[in-house]
Structure 1
């Protein structure tokens, strides 16, 4: 990119000019000419190139060229100077009789200046990438990437690294993006010239910049040792310092900077940041310097990304409480059989709050040079409130939350936050899937919704465009009560599982027709009233309630088919029954009639499913048998976990009581087409 710059060249005057390689000096020849000038000639040293615009019909060195009021002299230099004022260009002016009237002399010093970042996203800061000042999505895109420094290098009295105004430890530098100032030229700049780095007031709340005191990459042992201390990375720019002079290195040198992201994209921040470097020219004492060259680089802050059920699990989290022994035993066996790690949050930490899914959502951030998991803390603020910060935040494990301005509802728990596997919809690819949240029905005059600050945050990440489903018909109101995703070896690589009362009635009518109408639900549960298949089918009120529930699920079915590009073969209906109850506001809402099998945990090909305690036929639970038959063709295996007393009776299931941290996508988010 050519950087044009207009300079003066007055006759009978010698002007010292500092030139930046890659720029172009423009001189209006008529403006600085003596009165009555009609012709001019040019002479320069070998390192100087020039051209005239518009170009004269013929031009040779020392030839006299007619002076026109519109003539502009364009000057460039191809390499950096070894010494100050080692190049020269002169303009000789002539009158009507070709008599010399005066001469303008330019003494030129050229320097190479480049502010560089990893604009091609390969993990290396390349020299002077032509696209470094802008951002473009896609595999052929460009623009550097910045991580929010939201982990904590400290484990004692910790807080987010981004909340420190200094480098916490040298290892903290890996969370930052490297930026390099490269210079080449004389040992010193001309007197009064200086380099300054600056950012806008708008960007200053989102970024902080440190620099290394000494030249990095030096082979000298003392230099390497010098760079190993935190104090050797002074702060350059932040929200209070928008402009600061930076050193010019003699000869040929590199000065390394570390750029730290302070906040994620959000409603009031698009994630784009620009850093500027200017060369300032002195005019005279007590007069501000003027910028004669500016280089700039662009960063985009990496988004927070959710992980779907189809990605490989790394760790499973559950709570231990005084009454969930059977659930915990089932989870231990299931997770061990699946080959993954189980992490238990004990009661002295959870304080009786068992809803691990509702408190937090695991995700991650990524860049070409580094990435790490980041937990999104929900605004529900139950007794597990301190767990994400106190127990998860640490080195290379980040934390983010959003604080609502209004009172939260059950829909702000993260059982109401899911993400689909990758999909293609009408030709548009979503390689990181789409976020799914539950809200009130679109035409409702009142109802519960996920709080606006969380929704704004999710939308602002851009890479997993959210889908809003209708979940307010449920008492708890979470999307995980009626849907889940499981991996599949064919079609789109997954299936959508939907709760279906219709599937229950179809299954139970088949049992009745086969002579099993007296088989009982809840058989084996001591304190639960048993009900036969015949009795359930005869309950007209229950049937009406489930007709309503099915219509709500079908509404969401249509939305999911449209927004995820699904057809009926991508969906499996699980036999799940509901009943209507009054909530605290005397509104009629639905809860699961028996343990909700769709509310499961997915570990690879192993499904941890709530044990439904359905009618037993030929020694086997008919609901379990149906569940297995629906997914076994996909190579999936079901383990049924007893959560009846400790979770189902408290209006939650296996998924509500567990959480899974998974591997990030192989796909790099910046390669998305927008």
Structure 2
């Protein structure tokens, strides 16, 4: 709340003495008017602090989604100082602590651009003895304030005093956050800045309120700017095959107009680049009127070793890393991977607005009711923008939402559609092929590789499998139930749902597909290094909680588990389905569905690199997306 306090001295400018009336000294005459001080911030978020009008006065003591001053958690490394703390023996806690906000200096022009500006309106009538003091009265432990003097930034401390000359000219301050909001019950992101001016004439003060820019995950209406992927070292057939995947990925990205070099993780052999990091961002309007953003790499709460490479490969100017420490789950740790975090694009429904989109995550809904880490959910919820919506993924081996749902741009009033896997459509493709006399056609057209058996099952054999039919009836029912949640929460209609043919299976028949474990060992070094993909079956065998009796994974490579490379360019895993009359029936059907939704589809082979490990293209990659749009206006 704005506060103005005055204590007047010398209000009488004529002093009576024995000799009669005399004039008071000039300083007292000047002080006949109350002291006035006016502190302002960029409340309307246009990039400038209005010093003459009233644009930044209304609501300066409050904050809402659409109005109120912002400051950035200054957790990038503009001067690249943190390279000094990199190394295999450096603890995770030390890696996480290093960033621009960890010291008391402003590290160059780039770092200064991350400071939110607060200014005092020039107070020309201040008396010569006036001095000013700046305090953070709320959120003091979470922010730092710097004052600009002679073109340089100096840390404001309890000893800092502003002169009358400075206050008459107007003072510029810079505010930086020391961390993101992690728990709104502890700190809701607000900082109240108070400027107090004191003189013999009295005391006056003014407050402004700022809030830390919320940490936001990306949605698919933000254009892809760069890809992330793990490239496995080595010269054996498995490593070379995965390296070939990376080369193909780079070419598909280039064809789609993604020109920035792909970031390649090479140190830990964890091929599931979607899972150990979730790219996010914080932003405010900079002095030039454009968005000033810091990318934030949100490391998985599993503390997978591959997450350490984020500090070496990505942390630097404009990019920081946030580590969530919580591992409060019993069993099914896979839910903490970020293949289990996707973002619904912006929407309004039933009086609620999500201008930056809304997060979805998977949970178990069986007897154990396991959810993602409470610390992660608290952090995401505390931003106050993208309150996570939990869906049921207990029917999936790996348990990630990206295995069955995605969000696609659309030239519609809503601006997006939902894409979902459709097991019924997958079964219909097989039944139609069998009716047309192709029951003896092999289910899969993939070739053998390095001792792995090529699948021999036919269309007729697949349709004769009670388990396969039951698995897909289960998957279809669970997907429809999740769609019901999304319809209720977003207002999405059946006409806005893109149904993509798919098939799921609960088990691995090594006589049909070969064993998946050699892939995980050879690509990832160990099953654990390869992540949870393919590992849940081991957990179940060893007696650990692994969900309900029936869990499935993609039988035909999951087409919805791909990457949106551009608004109209989609990269899907190669289907390797039955070839009838020279055409892969799954590829043809998948392409038609996406084409009808206004998208061009390309394919990439991930059968041996990812599919047999219960993941697809999306699971093995990640994307950095555009941050230039003001999130409060989306």
TM-score range, shorter chain: 0.7 to 0.9
User: What is the aligned partner in structure 1 of residue 510 from structure 2?
Assistant: none
From the two aligned structures, give the one with the greater strand fraction: 1
1:598 aligns with 2:525: no
User: What is the aligned partner in structure 1 of residue 209 from structure 2?
Assistant: 298
Distance in 1 between the 2:621 and 2:12 partners?
Answer: 65
Instruction: Specify which of 282, 304, 323 is matched with residue 365 of structure 1.
Output: 282
User: What is the aligned partner in structure 2 of residue 93 from structure 1?
Assistant: none
Name which of structure 1's ranges 297-306 and 584-593 shifts more when overlaid on structure 2.
584-593
Taking structure 1 as the reference length, the TM-score comes to: 0.76
Gap change, CA 1:418 and 1:138, over 3 Å in 2: closer
1:421 aligns with 2:345: yes
* Structure 1 residues 569-608: aligned runs within 5 Å: 569-581=495-507, 582-586=537-541, 587=546, 588=549, 589-604=551-566, 605-608=568-571
Name which of structure 1's ranges 555-564 and 337-346 shifts more when overlaid on structure 2.
337-346
Distance in 2 between the 1:618 and 1:495 partners?
Answer: 32
Instruction: Say which structure, 1 or 2, has more relative contact order (CA 8 Å, 6+ apart).
Output: 2
What are the superposed Cα offsets for residues 551-584 of structure 1, whole Å, 9 maximum, x if unpaired?
Answer: 2222211111111211111112222211224451
Taking structure 2 as the reference length, the TM-score comes to: 0.81
* Structure 1 residues 394-473: aligned runs within 5 Å: 394-406=316-328, 409-441=333-365, 444-473=366-395
- What's the C-alpha RMSD, in Å, of the aligned pairs? 3.0
User: What is the aligned partner in structure 1 of residue 70 from structure 2?
Assistant: 145
Instruction: Specify which of 12, 27, 40 is matched with residue 116 of structure 1.
Output: 40
Note the C-alpha offset of 1:275. Answer: 0.7
Structure 1: gaps spanning 5 or more residues: 9-14, 20-42, 46-80, 88-106, 215-226, 284-290
Note the C-alpha offset of 1:447. Answer: 4.4
Note the C-alpha offset of 1:671. Answer: 4.6
User: What is the aligned partner in structure 1 of residue 153 from structure 2?
Assistant: 233
Gap change, CA 1:573 and 1:7, over 3 Å in 2: closer
The count of corresponding residues between Structure 1 and Structure 2 is 553
* Structure 1 residues 61-460: aligned runs within 5 Å: 83-86=26-29, 108=32, 110-127=34-51, 129-131=56-58, 133-137=60-64, 141=67, 143-158=68-83, 159-185=98-124, 188-190=127-129, 194-200=131-137, 203-214=139-150, 227=151, 232-237=152-157, 241=158, 244-249=160-165, 252-267=168-183, 268-280=186-198, 292-321=203-232, 322=239, 323-341=241-259, 343-346=261-264, 349-369=266-286, 370-406=292-328, 409-441=333-365, 444-460=366-382
Gap change, CA 1:500 and 1:280, over 3 Å in 2: same
Secondary structure in 2 matching 1:354: coil
Distance in 2 between the 1:626 and 1:307 partners?
Answer: 29
Secondary structure in 2 matching 1:249: helix
Instruction: Specify which of 462, 487, 497 is matched with residue 419 of structure 2.
Output: 497
Note the C-alpha offset of 1:401. Answer: 2.7
Instruction: Specify which of 646, 654, 657 is matched with residue 617 of structure 2.
Output: 654
Alignment check: 8 A CA contact 1:82 1:185 kept: no
Note the C-alpha offset of 1:344. Answer: 4.3
From the two aligned structures, give the one with the greater helix fraction: 2
Alignment check: 8 A CA contact 1:83 1:109 kept: no
Gap change, CA 1:612 and 1:252, over 3 Å in 2: same
Note the C-alpha offset of 1:628. Answer: 1.0
Distance in 1 between the 2:408 and 2:471 partners?
Answer: 28
Gap change, CA 1:405 and 1:412, over 3 Å in 2: closer
Note the C-alpha offset of 1:641. Answer: 1.0
Structure 2: gaps spanning 5 or more residues: 14-20, 84-97, 233-238, 287-291, 508-536
Gap change, CA 1:540 and 1:113, over 3 Å in 2: same
Note the C-alpha offset of 1:257. Answer: 1.3
Note the C-alpha offset of 1:423. Answer: 2.2
Alignment check: 8 A CA contact 2:63 2:69 kept: no
Secondary structure in 2 matching 1:410: helix
Distance in 2 between the 1:618 and 1:169 partners?
Answer: 65
Alignment check: 8 A CA contact 2:181 2:212 kept: yes
Distance in 1 between the 2:249 and 2:553 partners?
Answer: 23
User: What is the aligned partner in structure 2 of residue 553 from structure 1?
Assistant: 479
The structure with the largest alpha-carbon Rg is 1
Name which of structure 1's ranges 618-627 and 292-301 shifts more when overlaid on structure 2.
292-301
Note the C-alpha offset of 1:113. Answer: 2.1
